[in-house]
Amino acid sequence: MSQYGNVNEYEEIGYEGTIENEDGGFTLLPEGDYEFTVSKITRGRYEGSDKMPACNSVTVELTVWGAQDKAVITERFFLVRKFEWKLSQFFLSIGVKKHGEPLNMRWNIEGMKGKCKVYIDKYQKQGGGEGQSNKIKKFYAYDENVQTVSAQPRQQYQQTYQQPPQTSGGAWTAGNF
């Protein structure tokens, strides 16, 4: 992680302010299986479209650990029955949901870890040209034996990331890796 890891990325800079960071912060990971850490949760409301009604949504920022770097992938969950399978897959991945058991969702999951399959999504940029970004293809259940990309510099990243304290009301046990 760069020395700028704990800086608020939307902190305003004065006209004569000091700047240092030369890294744009975008990393494209190769397709593969990776470990991730839940880094941010944002509850919201989807206003609806021709294909889906208005509904509650949750945006989850995942820090995905590559062999030499890390990437942040954002996943949006729509809280409708049609996508219940995806919610179950995610909660199974971080060890909150157990196979065959119902789960009352709780979103105090920042700092929890899981495994996922990442792919490269190609899209057309608004100004023309092709863009690429990482997306999650699948979340692996906590008990699936999946060989992930080895994140060698991960200990360096973890030095600046402080896991939030766990509440006494949490009944979950995170999956072992």
**Site of tokens 């906590």:** 142
Q: What is the pLDDT of residue 151?
A: 57
Query: What's the confidence (pLDDT) of residue 91?
Result: 98
Confidence of residue 7 (pLDDT cuts 50, 70, 90): low
Check pLDDT > 90 for residue 174: no
Give the per-residue pLDDT at 164.
47
pLDDT tens readout for residues 117-136:
999 999 998 888 899 999 99
56-60, 107-111, 156-160: which has the minimum mean pLDDT?
Answer: 156-160
Question: What average pLDDT does the segment 138-154 reach?
Answer: 84
DSSP state of 91: H
- The pLDDT of residue 146 is 93
pTM of the prediction?
0.72
Which residues neighbour 80 within 8 Å (Cβ) at sequence distance 6 or greater? 52, 53, 55
Q: Over the chain, what is the mean pLDDT?
A: 84
Helices (H) and strands (E) in the chain, counts: 2, 5
Name the band, by pLDDT with cuts 50, 70 and 90, for residue 159.
very low
Q: What whole-number distance in Å separates Cα of residue 78 and Cα of residue 142?
A: 22
Element (H, E) at 88: helix 84-93
